[in-house]
Amino acid sequence: MATPLRPGDGTRIGRYDLVGRLGEGGMGTVYLGRSPEGRPVAIKTVRIDFTGDGEFRARFRSEVNRARQVPPFCTAEVLDADPDHEPPYLVVEYVEGPSLSTKVREDGPLSGAGLHSLAIGIATALTAIHGAGVIHRDLKPANVLLAPGGIKVIDFGIARAFEATSRHTRTDQMVGTVAYMAPERFDPAPGGRPTTAAADIFAWGAVVAYAATGRTPFDADSATATAVRILTQPPDLTGLPVSLRDAVEWALAKEPQDRPTARQLLHLLVAAPATATPISPAPRVEKPVSPAVGFVSPEVVAPDTLSPRPPRRRARTAAIVGIALLVLAGGGLFASRELLAANAPEPSATGPSGGSTASYRATPSPVDTHAAILRGSHRTLIHIAEADRDLALDLHDSEVVAGNGTGAKSLFLLVPYGVDYMIRTLRDASSTEETCLGVKIIPDGAASLTPVACEPTAATVFSLSAANGKDDKGRPTYWLGNETYGFVQYSPSDHTVFVEEVGDARPLSTFSLVDRGPN
């Protein structure tokens, strides 16, 4: 669903009229546009602060060239592009239909034939995408559209060619959404491990599990804890139909060489669901990139022709430690040693046969109210730790102020959105129109929080970053941030709540979550 244009957006780019906004990310904005022939199109533009970066412009040009090679039957077709425009832009087919994330959020998890068709549709898309020499790198429910004619996988803004390294990707860059990122993506070694098509296969498994259950298979209270679970724990596939369990478990293998190719996945899924037997996950060798064709053709090797590859325990352990130093994409979350230790699983002393093993077992923990708040099943006060006040709507329901924590205007519900949240206000629990907090720009350049429609946009999605402290009641504290506009802060001098970029400094205010019972 498009949102209105903002001041400064302009009304035209190239030969296209701009009608509204479809989304915004770390590298640019996607607009709903109209072609000279009257056709609705989606136009992706690069953020203005990147356009002077020659490396980024080269990356965008590479993206356009690769996107043109992807067959349009499973993706939004590339219609036009101008990498030399100010700003550069890419025009693709506008796809009618909700995203998978919107569908699950509004109607609940998929089941039966609809779920199986979704799994096949995404696997078909990946088969075509990988065949064109492209790795998506950010496959997630928001990038899967349920179009009238079938599944469409969109947003190749961070797709790359099948290459061990790219001249356009530095070793300190990480792109993707944590809950759907493969373990090898967190490798902190110099140069890391090259991202291959196997990372998209892992994301496929996480997306299908989300579609079937409404949660990610490594769901945790924070992006850091999620990353640790991805690295060390088996997926929680409770609620996943038996007909898809083999395929999803295979796709979520910790090591990339243990996962199937997209074509193998498709072969497994189109077999009769009740009788399908998974192909043995054999070790794989990837051929070099063909200069003439430009893509990798994975070759399956019989299990007895290669020695089993030893598990990368050292690399995975290093990755866990490395998360403490790495800014996780999309959330700006830094892990502390304490947080990592609290979320790391205990090594199992013995395996199934009683012998020593290096596998891990998850330590069950009792359900607590804090976890229930983060899952979106309990109401909460959002407590300003330094001020002993709580966020609340003002008298006229026009913006957020610091209140005393009483009444429905102080009650909120965290609505998980990937690893982030929308914050729904419960001022009128009987209302059929849900209202969430959003960032409102004030003419003097500051920003405030105001109630808006519960639609995931750049202004309504917030992150909770562990501040590694406690409030006066011993509850953990967080920095409450918005990727586009900055952090939510409280001014004790004039008692106002505002949103502000802080650069390299720490935010002034931290927040804790006060349980107010089941929703």
Q: Do residues 87 and 46 lie in contact, with contact meaning Cβ atoms separated by under 8 Å?
A: yes
Rounded to a whole number of angstroms, the distance between the first and last alpha carbons of the chain is 27
Distance CA 47, CA 27 (A): 6
Q: Indicate if 110 and 252 belong to the same structural domain.
A: yes
**77-104, pLDDT tens digit by residue?**
888 888 888 888 889 899 988 999 999 9
For the cut 50, the answer to whether the pLDDT of residue 168 exceeds it is no
DSSP 43-59: EEEE-GGGTT-HHHHHH
Of residues 237 and 271, more confidently modeled: 237
Distance CA 341, CA 139 (A): 29
Tokens of 434: 């849900």
For the cut 70, the answer to whether the pLDDT of residue 189 exceeds it is no
For the cut 80, the answer to whether the pLDDT of residue 342 exceeds it is no
Q: Do residues 410 and 403 lie in contact, with contact meaning Cβ atoms separated by under 8 Å?
A: yes
Q: Indicate if 275 and 332 belong to the same structural domain.
A: yes
92 contacts: CB under 8 Å, gap ≥ 6 = 41, 42, 43, 44, 67, 76, 77, 78, 79, 154
For the cut 80, the answer to whether the pLDDT of residue 341 exceeds it is no
- CATH number, domain of 132, equals 1.10.510.10
What pLDDT is recorded for position 58? 73
Q: Report how far apart, in Å, the C-alpha atoms of 80 and of each of 88, 90, 184, 312 are.
A: 11, 6, 34, 43
- Of all residues in the chain, the percent with pLDDT exceeding 90 is 40
**324 within some domain:** yes
Of the listed ranges 95-99, 245-249, 251-255, the one predicted with least confidence: 95-99
**275 within some domain:** yes
**297 within some domain:** no
Q: Which of 93, 110, 125 is the last residue of a domain?
A: 93
For the cut 90, the answer to whether the pLDDT of residue 332 exceeds it is no
What pLDDT is recorded for position 28? 75
For the cut 50, the answer to whether the pLDDT of residue 386 exceeds it is yes
Q: Indicate if 16 and 165 belong to the same structural domain.
A: no
What pLDDT is recorded for position 229? 94
Binning pLDDT at 50, 70 and 90, where does residue 22 land?
Answer: confident
Class of residue 228 by CB neighbours under 10 A (exposed 0-12, middle 13-18, buried 19+):
buried
Q: Indicate if 162 and 54 belong to the same structural domain.
A: no
For the cut 90, the answer to whether the pLDDT of residue 400 exceeds it is yes
State pTM to two decimals. Answer: 0.55
**Selected catalytic residue, list 138, 155, 221, 420:** 138
Q: Which domain holds residue 70?
A: 12-93
Q: What is the mean pLDDT of the chain?
A: 76
For the cut 70, the answer to whether the pLDDT of residue 264 exceeds it is yes
Q: Indicate if 341 and 271 belong to the same structural domain.
A: yes
**18 within some domain:** yes
**412 within some domain:** yes
Q: Indicate if 29 and 151 belong to the same structural domain.
A: no
**357 within some domain:** no
Q: Indicate if 339 and 406 belong to the same structural domain.
A: no
What pLDDT is recorded for position 174? 45
Of the listed ranges 30-39, 142-151, 339-348, 444-453, the one predicted with least confidence: 339-348
Q: Indicate if 409 and 390 belong to the same structural domain.
A: yes
- CATH number, domain of 44, equals 3.30.200.20
Distance CA 200, CA 204 (A): 6
For the cut 50, the answer to whether the pLDDT of residue 417 exceeds it is yes
Q: Indicate if 268 and 330 belong to the same structural domain.
A: yes
How many structural domains comprise the chain? Answer: 3
Q: Indicate if 257 and 180 belong to the same structural domain.
A: yes
Distance CA 87, CA 469 (A): 42
Q: Indicate if 220 and 195 belong to the same structural domain.
A: yes
Q: Report how far apart, in Å, the C-alpha atoms of 308 and of each of 114, 192, 197, 259, 315 are.
A: 37, 22, 20, 14, 17
**148 within some domain:** yes
Of residues 373 and 444, more confidently modeled: 373
Q: Indicate if 458 and 505 belong to the same structural domain.
A: yes
Q: Which of 65, 93, 121 is the last residue of a domain?
A: 93
Handedness of CA 186, 190, 195, 196 (dihedral sign): negative
Q: Do residues 21 and 8 lie in contact, with contact meaning Cβ atoms separated by under 8 Å?
A: no
For the cut 60, the answer to whether the pLDDT of residue 487 exceeds it is yes
Short-list 433, 381, 449, 386, CA closest to 410: 381
**361 within some domain:** no
- CATH number, domain of 484, equals 2.80.10.50
Q: Which of 93, 119, 136 is the last residue of a domain?
A: 93
225 contacts: CB under 8 Å, gap ≥ 6 = 339, 343
What pLDDT is recorded for position 283? 37
What pLDDT is recorded for position 320? 46
**347-379, pLDDT tens digit by residue?**
333 333 333 333 333 333 344 788 889 988 899
Binning pLDDT at 50, 70 and 90, where does residue 176 land?
Answer: low
Count of CB atoms situated within 10 Å of the CB of 74: 20
For the cut 80, the answer to whether the pLDDT of residue 508 exceeds it is yes
- Give all strands (DSSP E) within 370-500, no chain letters: 378-384, 389-393, 400-403, 412-417, 420-425, 435-441, 447-453, 463-470, 476-482, 486-491, 496-500
The owner of tokens 């067959």 is: 71
Distance CA 129, CA 74 (A): 9
- In DSSP terms, which residues pair with 468 in a beta bridge? none
Of residues 385 and 313, more confidently modeled: 385
**108-129, pLDDT tens digit by residue?**
999 999 999 999 999 999 998 8
For the cut 50, the answer to whether the pLDDT of residue 179 exceeds it is yes
Distance CA 247, CA 165 (A): 29
Of residues 488 and 347, more confidently modeled: 488
Q: Is 138 a catalytic residue?
A: yes
